[in-house]
Chains A and B, each alone.
Chain A
């Protein structure tokens, strides 16, 4: 009877994915618990470590810091990248408020504006300078059309000459337009995206780059919160399982067996 209920509830082709999701969930939760006792060490992320220097430089030069989270919206598959970008926005805003530099956040997705307002307002409160936050000039909704948004960001670069440009989120064809324009005006740049299409463009132009999973880890890395940091270890266990499955799959296929392939398709 149990078997029948189970069969009817599971959707063929998604069973293995569900199993993996549950397994990774458990690894992440266990790692977060373990991190309460002992914080795991992990490699340095140069891009994120450079943020205080970028903010300091902007404050010294009396120029703004430009921040954007790219395209995509909160209900699409790229939403996690957007959330990852917003996690960094709070950190940058707090540092900038303390240093006396202005952050300009260019927005493509109107639905992000209330969230960004809350994040930046909080950051200025934490920095003890709530009165310095000006929502209208610091959070700018530019356009929901890709190239109108891209042109507007380029316009901000040319007119206001930010000293630093931080781009974390889902980026599309505008990535090269942004990175080249900000390079030309001499801005120090940090870019991060999980969209494989755009990584090469950022890699050749920007000073610092966060690749794929690194942007998701950014919030945890910057928070220095042991529980959040612990979750990164959990995701690494998931990566190990992926590697083991790849190796087993290759061996099985070479031996003429499709067992691993069938398992993945289950």
Chain B
């Protein structure tokens, strides 16, 4: 015969379908009807913004579009906001590459969202993508040593020499800033080893929120100027004044995080209720 379970016991083991169902509702409501919760700008996002803003005219930026399709919903909005900033600021050259095989496809998607022509930016003059370069750290090291020896074409297969943006670009010393968007720890840490340590390239790094604690030692050691997570895209959009997916997701984040806090409280009440009532 099935043993009858007490109230506290049942509360302690709420079926996951219920937990997931409520969470799904908390996801959907703000997506349909944005609440408009305020978005705080953290010091690290501000530092990131200021770093790009204060670059001298003509500065060249290396951007690793190194996230995977799975990480796009989190890192895509951040990458889009940063590109908006680069183009809005003007006078900067953005050379992208990908250490993730899906990078070029996702870069195309991001550019379609940014629409660089609205800022007068032209492909090959103000920005370019030199393709996926296999080998992760080996690729970073190779591009740092000799970019032209590593790849001679852009992601479309056209020769790099035909693009004005590539004039004078040889190796890591040709770059004034490194920006990395990645879902992989091998990439976010690899750039420190292959570019920051040997060439002292200033480094801005954006990773998944759950990767941040592991990257903190690098930031504290001064190897990363600013470390953000994709979850902070709303802050960047606020600073760049281009509200998009990031700000929208700030509402979702507030609601879902608060719901999980409620879950934790309920779980603990149930745990102690069961402990002291005997079931």
Contacts and interface: CB of A to CB of B under 8 A. Distances in A.
Direct A–B contact present (CB less than 8 angstroms): yes
Interface of A: 13, 72, 76-78, 146-147, 172-173, 184, 195-197, 201
Interface residues of B, number: 18
15 contacts: A13-B197, A76-B137, A76-B186, A146-B70, A172-B183, A172-B184, A172-B185, A173-B70, A173-B183, A184-B16, A195-B214, A197-B210, A197-B211, A197-B213, A201-B210
B214 A147 contact: no
A253 B89 CA distance: 39
A188 B71 CA distance: 30
Interface string B202-225: 000000101101100000000000
B207 to A, nearest CB: 9
B34 interface: no
From B71, B137, B184, name the one whose CB has the most chain A CB atoms within 10 angstroms.
B184
Contact of B198 (A13, A76, A78): A13
A21 B208 CA distance: 32
A13 B71 CA distance: 34
A184 B198 CA distance: 47
Interface of B: 16, 68, 70-71, 136-137, 183-186, 190, 197-198, 208, 210-211, 213-214
A196 B70 CA distance: 20
Given A146-B68, A146-B70, A173-B70, A196 B137 contact: no
A184 B17 CA distance: 12
A196 B198 contact: no
B210 A78 contact: no
Nearest to B216: A196
Contacts of B214: 195-197
Which DSSP category, helix, strand, loop or mixed, fits chain B's interface?
A: helix
A80 B94 CA distance: 36
Given A77-B190, A146-B68, A147-B70, A195 B185 contact: yes
A3 B197 CA distance: 25
A13 B195 CA distance: 13
Contacts of B208: 173
B4 to A, nearest CB: 22
Contacts of B198: 13
B279 to A, nearest CB: 22
Contacts of A147: 70
Given A172-B185, A196-B214, 11 more contacts: A72-B186, A76-B137, A77-B136, A77-B137, A77-B190, A146-B68, A173-B70, A173-B208, A173-B210, A195-B214, A197-B211
Nearest to A184: B16
From A77, A147, A184, name the one whose CB has the most chain B CB atoms within 10 angstroms.
A77
Given A13-B197, A146-B70, A76 B136 contact: yes
A77 B70 contact: no
Given A13-B197, A146-B70, A147-B70, A78 B211 contact: no
A76 B16 CA distance: 38
Contacts of B16: 184
Contacts of B213: 196-197
Contacts of B210: 173, 197, 201
A157 to B, nearest CB: 15
Nearest to B102: A145
A112 B50 CA distance: 46
From A72, A76, A173, A197, name the one whose CB has the most chain B CB atoms within 10 angstroms.
A197
From B70, B197, B208, name the one whose CB has the most chain A CB atoms within 10 angstroms.
B70
A78 B186 CA distance: 8
Contacts of B185: 172, 195, 197
